[in-house]
Chains A and B, each alone.
Chain A
Amino acid sequence: MWIYEKKLEYPVRVSGPNPRLAKIVLEQYGGSDGEAAAANRYLTQRYTMPTGMAKGVLTDIGTEELAHWEMIATLFYKLMKGVTPSQAKAAGLEAYYANHGKDVFLQNAGGVPFTAAYFATKGDPVANLVEDMAAEEKARATYENILNLSDDPCVNDTLKFLREREVVHFQRFGEVLDNVQTHLNCKKVF
């Protein structure tokens, strides 16, 4: 089971209301390489992994991604705090506001709703782990794109933390792939 911890993994601060940036960070909330896709990808793939290490890493990184998902929601919540309807409209959030008000919704920055089609389970641990490594690199690249568009140093601090986690996760998945391939090769001997 999972137990919620009533704290964020890392502090989330914003300099002030910023609906333009709020819209952009949604990419990592409900986008194809966002935190919800990452958490669900790993937590769905873990069941059939052939080694304890692979099951453990997918469980742990999947769980950490849920904490990152919460951090992105917190960014959105704080960036929308105090935003007026006319400011939301001026930032291109008119349609969003009409549907969701200031609630966070599982969609990407362009308004496309989240879908399970963003991630795969192939019934093949090597294929799954290689996808996971690619997913971490795509998430890192997305954070860099968002950093290029951000004008809030407080938000950048959070984004840089999250970007760095992608780099560490990529490293751990690489080690797991090695572990799984060694395991599969050993099995073939007899």
Chain B
Amino acid sequence: MNRKISHQAHLLKEIMSYEFTAVELNLFLDTHPADVKALAEYNQVTQCLKKLKFEYEKCYGPLMNFGTSPSQHPWRWIDEPWPWQIEY
């Protein structure tokens, strides 16, 4: 169980670091919409994130609901742990 949790936390931390880069570039692009380099980096990070999230969701179920990510059977959205329960 512990090993599973720590693997989950490890994957999540990787997603967090890429998604934080995306958040930061997103806010920067909001006020610098013509910046070619930032946009290229944003699109690149978006691709990496898509792959990482796909890998994560295969093991631990959907990261997002309401039609954004599919789920295995049975419905895995309600699987614990929720984000505040995880030891990082």
Contacts and interface: CB of A to CB of B under 8 A. Distances in A.
Interface of A: 1, 3-13, 53, 56-57, 60-61, 64, 70, 73-74, 77-78, 168-169, 172, 175-176, 179
Contacts, number: 72
A11 B66 CA distance: 25
Nearest to A78: B84
B24 interface: yes
B68 interface: yes
Interface of B: 9, 12-13, 15-16, 19-20, 23-24, 26-28, 30-33, 62-66, 68, 77, 82-84, 86-88
Nearest to B85: A77
Given A53-B30, A60-B30, A10 B20 contact: yes
A7 B12 CA distance: 7
B13 A9 contact: no
Contact of B30 (A4, A12, A78, A172): A172
B88 A172 contact: no
> Considering residues B23, B65, B82, B83, which has the most beta carbons from chain A within 10 angstroms of its beta carbon?
B83
The 6 closest A-B pairs by CB, nearest first: A11-B88, A175-B31, A74-B84, A8-B83, A57-B30, A56-B30
Contact of A7 (B23, B28, B30, B83): B83
22 contacts: A1-B66, A3-B65, A4-B64, A5-B64, A6-B62, A6-B63, A6-B64, A7-B12, A7-B15, A7-B63, A7-B83, A8-B16, A9-B19, A9-B20, A11-B9, A12-B84, A12-B88, A13-B88, A53-B31, A70-B83, A74-B84, A78-B84
A60 B65 contact: no
Given A4-B65, A11-B88, A60-B30, 10 more contacts: A1-B66, A6-B63, A6-B83, A7-B63, A8-B86, A11-B12, A11-B13, A57-B30, A64-B23, A168-B24
A179 B16 contact: no
**SS class of chain A's interface: helix, strand, loop or mixed?**
helix
Contacts of B63: 5-7
Contacts of B62: 6
Given A8-B83, A13-B88, A172 B31 contact: yes
A73 B84 contact: yes
Contacts of A4: 64-65
A74 B27 contact: no
Contacts of A172: 27-28, 30-31
